[in-house]
Structure 1
Amino acid sequence: MITNPTRQHALRSAPGPASRPAGRVRNSVEHQAALAWRLTPRDRWIVAMLAEHRVLTATQITDMAFPSFRSGRQRLRELYLWSVLDRFQPFAALGSAPMHYVLAPAGAAVLAAAHGLEPRDLGYRHDRALGIAHSLRLAHTVGVAEWFAALVDAARHHPCADESALEVWWSEARCARLFGDLVRPDGYGRWHTRGRRIEFFLEYDLGTEALSRVAAKLAGYAALAAATTITTPLLIWLPTPRREANARAALHRAWRDLDQPAAVPVATAAAGLLDPDSAHPSPADPVWLPLPTTGPRRDSGPRLPLDRLVEAWPHLEPHLGDSAPQAEPTGAGEHGSGAARLPAPFPMPPAPSPRGRAAPHR
């Protein structure tokens, strides 16, 4: 849950009991052809999201794309049995971790075929996809996905759903391909609510990095702003209000020393500020505190919802909505120079099939 992110050490304890293997369809050309009438637009969206973000939990997928956890769990199990998705469950010291899903060979083949490619052109490797189960960055990767998934869920349940949306969500790998020579943000997004639109880079902190190192990243964002002449806010998400207060002191010192501080608008928030009893807590809630652009550092003041941060940086408004790159520059991708680059999947899932026209095996 976004209000209580899982820490890496909680996923690295003694192994749990082996799960009972389920009978799965063997991946073959004939099976891939059969998937043409089995997979719905929502299934294909899940496949594209896993190709972009590497791993998503069952809870994240169902919150974003299904009307209930039960229906989502049933469909994910079918996709697993069809070898479209693979899954694993990390051991958790307390309770049980949700099932984690990654792309399986049949899913990679379907995705590649949809773009006129071979699976190898995507740089997909089955062992690499499942290898994230043992990554020391698993908790961080899942935490970033939880942050953005909470925004998608909040948009789905907004009183005026047509007025709220996560319009863009780029993964850390895509950001690294685009901006990695200067900065490596954990994600890039664009959020729209009630006629206000804000784009941002995200730095997601779990409290494992020295605050001096977090603050030192501002220099890279300043260099990016100077190179592109585009000012993009930087959102820094921290686990607790106490760490946020300490981080703001370090950030303000680093921000004040920049040649053009106004080119790097910064706002901070903490997971501990969200209401755990809320039905849909998310980073869209009023938990953000901008660094002041003038005068002394202030660590108190009204917290703003995500869409109202533009009020703290009025000089950004002329650029909103048109400053996100539309295509990636040439160069080596995350899997090497031979890896093709697919467009980022639309963050919001497609609407379910109309009643009476449901896809088979739904």
Structure 2
Amino acid sequence: MPLSRTASLLAIYPHITSRDRLLLQLLDDHQVLTTGQIHRMLFAARRTCQLRLNELAALGLIERFRFPRDGGGSQPWHWTLGHHGRRFQAAAHERLEPTARASNQTVQRLSANPHLTHLVLTNEFFVRLAEHARWHGEARLDRWWSEHVTHEQFRTITADGHGLWSAGGATVGFFLETDTGSEALGSRVVAKLAKYATFIRETGARYPVLFWLGSEQREEHLHRLLPGQHTSVPVATAGHAADPAGRVWLPRGCSSRVELAELPSDHGQPVAANPNYDDGVFLL
């Protein structure tokens, strides 16, 4: 039975598992995940995932929305924190408790955000890494930072995300630029390299910038534009269809693809973790 918006959080505690807490934290950090993304990271069976999400929604911990697909059918359910989920996360991180009105407005703004597709696609990149690590014991997603946290930590960097990926005995830091095809490659995408060049000069950290592109044509076009453009910045590209953990990355000036863990990465001055965010993505 759904709980009222003024119900005590203590009444919900007996229903919250450790996996639920991880999901609430992921939604707090990254705003929205689809049913499929949650299933691949946290559940073995899709039906079990669907049933549990509905139970959490009945408790007011999460909410869902979706839109119709052009041409027929529906998009997948998109899940975000519900009012009680936002209250729980606020208590966990010693933030002010949101009002029911504020929680409702947050969901409405997220669902109507014109950049929602870009956000879900960016999260998909990290979900695939987390899924790979879940089934490959030698691999680990050590850090998954959102655009907001990345900017908070690095200040001058406004990447779509930042991560640390470990595999094969190597740890690679990277910045992610998710391309949906809406920006001009020359005037907007390549121009982003200037801020990374400045970051390298100021910190000594040389994290590869990963351009995740929607088509082979845009990838080829981008590589034609790269020569002579901020050569101090390591750049690699791959397509949306690829497993980002695999041998799919084409570094600047190279003719063969490499795995993510094989990209050169110099951490320079260590970056402290956000005190309100756990670096690790620990999957059940």
Matched, 1:326 2:272: yes
Q: Which runs of 5+ in 1 are unaligned?
A: 1-22, 256-260, 275-281, 293-297, 311-315, 329-340, 352-362
Does the alignment pair 1:200 with 2:169? Answer: no
Is the contact between residue 90 and residue 133 of structure 1 (CA under 8 Å) also seen in structure 2? no
More RCO (CA 8 Å, sep 6+): 1
Hey, what does 1:172 align to over in structure 2?
147
Match status 1:76 vs 2:53: yes
Superposed CA offset, 1:162-202 (max 9, x none): x111110000111122334x231000001111212111000
Which of the residues 348, 351, 356 maps onto 2:282? Answer: 348
Which of residues 21, 46, 54 is equivalent to 1:44?
21
* Cα separation, 1, equivalents of 2:91 and 2:143: 24
In the TM superposition, 1:258-337 aligns within 5 A as 261-262=231-232, 264-272=233-241, 274=242, 282-292=243-253, 298=254, 301-310=255-264, 316=265, 319-320=266-267, 323-328=269-274
Structure with the greater alpha carbon radius of gyration: 1
CA separation in 2, counterparts of 1:291 and 1:323? 24
Shift of 1:324: 4.9
Query: Structure 1 residue 229: deviation in Å?
Result: 2.2
Letter in 2 for 1:145: N
| Residue of structure 2 equivalent to 1:183 | 157
1:303 Cα offset (Å):
1.1
Percent identity, aligned pairs only?
33
Aligned to 1:63, the other structure's residue is in SS state helix
Give deviations 1:34-90, integer Å, cap 9, x for gaps: 121110111111111111111111111111011111111111111111000011012
SS at match of 1:288: strand
Written as runs of structure 1 = structure 2, the 5 A alignment for 1:17-56 is 24-30=2-8, 32-56=9-33
Q: Which runs of 5+ in 2 are unaligned?
A: none
Q: Could you tell me the TM-score, scaled by structure 2's length?
A: 0.92
The equivalent of 1:245 in structure 2 is: 220
Structure 1 residues 146 and 154: CA distance shift in structure 2, 3 A: same
Using the alignment, how far apart are the partners of 1:135 and 1:117 within structure 2? 24
Q: Partners of 2:151 and 2:103 in 1: how far apart?
A: 20
Distance change (3 Å), C-alpha of 1:178 and 1:290: same
> Could you tell me how far 1:220 is from its partner in structure 2?
0.5
- Paired residue type of 2:225: A
Q: Distance in 1 between matches of 2:128 and 2:143?
A: 14
* Whole-angstrom CA distance in 1 between matches of 2:50 and 2:154: 36
Residue in 1 that maps onto 2:133? 155
TM-score (norm. length: structure 1): 0.73
In 2, distance between residues paired with 1:139 and 1:114?
A: 29
Over the aligned positions, Cα root-mean-square deviation in angstroms equals: 2.0
Q: Partners of 1:28 and 1:345 in 2: how far apart?
A: 32
Letter in 1 for 2:272: Q
**For 1:346 and 1:113, how far apart are their aligned partners in 2?**
21
| Aligned counterpart for 1:144 among listed residues 122, 126, 130 | 122
Instruction: String of CA shifts for 1:139-178, please: whole Å, max 9, x gaps.
Output: 10000011110111111122xx1x1111100001111223
Residues 88-117 of structure 1 deviation map (CA, whole Å, 9 limit, x = unaligned): 012212542111011111011111222333
Work out the CA distance in 1 between the residues paired with 2:252 and 2:32: 33
Query: Using the alignment, how far apart are the partners of 1:169 and 1:79 within structure 2?
Result: 24
Moved over 6 A (4+): none
Contact 1:54 1:129 in 2 (8 A): no
Distance 2:278 2:227 in 1: 34
Q: Residue type matched to 2:197 in 1?
A: A
Q: Does the 8 Å CA contact 2:142/2:166 hold for their aligned counterparts? A: yes
1:345 Cα deviation (Å)? 5.9
1:227-253 Cα shifts (integer Å, max 9, x gaps): 222221111110111110001122224
Query: Does the residue aligned with 1:200 lie in a helix, a strand or coil?
Result: strand
Partner of 2:112: 134
What is the aligned partner in structure 2 of residue 100 from structure 1? Answer: 78
Contact 1:183–1:217 under 8 Å retained in 2: no
CA gap of 1:29–1:117, structure 2 versus 1, over 3 A, is farther
Q: Which residue of 1 aligns with 2:191?
A: 216
Q: Whole-Å Cα distance in 2 between the matches of residues 29 and 97 of structure 1?
A: 32
Q: 1:210 to 1:98 in 2, by over 3 A?
A: same
